């Protein structure tokens, strides 16, 4: 997972550090705070992963913290498969809402379009959150009965 995090061009060095901390926490205590899913080639090479967890102090709300697909595997449906598997598992756990936070930067436009094509909608914007001109966008999707 570390290789894939470092290979993801969109992530800043600080974001890479946070992603690796979340992954380390998952590996040390699987399922306690986070759950991770991976997609692998037939040669068992990791081509994509996502990490999600319950939102503290909520009833049935979950956060998708990280999703990444290797450059050579993008556009092949791996991100969609990972997202659908997460949603399927969350329905089984009686989750009702998934939140995703992302950047408003232009280079994140494909990421935002990916979420929108899968039924997520922007429900909040925090101007200049990450940096001047870089808003925090919060996507949401109700998933019970998916």
Residue 41 dihedral angles phi and psi, to the nearest 5°: -80, 175
Kindly list the domain boundaries of the chain, sorted by start residue. Answer: 2-142
Q: For 51-64, what is each residue's pLDDT tens digit?
A: 899 999 999 999 99
Gyration radius from the chain CA atoms = 15
Which residues are within 8 A (CB) of 136 and not within 5 positions of it... i.e. 6 or more apart? 101, 102, 103, 104, 124, 125, 126, 129, 130
pTM of the prediction? 0.79
CATH number, span 2-142: 3.40.630.30
pLDDT score of 73: 66
Q: For 6-37, what is each residue's pLDDT tens digit?
A: 556 667 676 766 666 766 666 676 666 677 77
């Amino acid at each position: 997972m570390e290789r894939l995090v470092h290979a993801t061009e969109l992530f800043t060095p600080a974001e890479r550090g946070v992603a690796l901390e979340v992954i380390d926490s998952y590996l040390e205590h699987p399922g306690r705070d986070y759950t991770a899913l991976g997609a692998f080639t037939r040669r068992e090479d990791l081509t994509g992963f996502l990490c999600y967890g319950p939102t503290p102090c909520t009833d049935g709300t979950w956060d998708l913290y990280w999703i990444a697909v290797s450059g050579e595997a993008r556009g092949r449906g791996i991100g969609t498969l990972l997202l659908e598997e997460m949603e399927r598992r969350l329905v089984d756990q009686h989750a009702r809402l998934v939140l995703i936070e992302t950047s408003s930067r232009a280079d994140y436009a494909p990421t935002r379009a990916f979420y929108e094509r899968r039924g997520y909608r922007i429900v909040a914007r925090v101007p200049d959150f990450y940096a001047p001109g870089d808003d925090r966008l919060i996507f949401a999707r109700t998933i019970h009965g998916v």
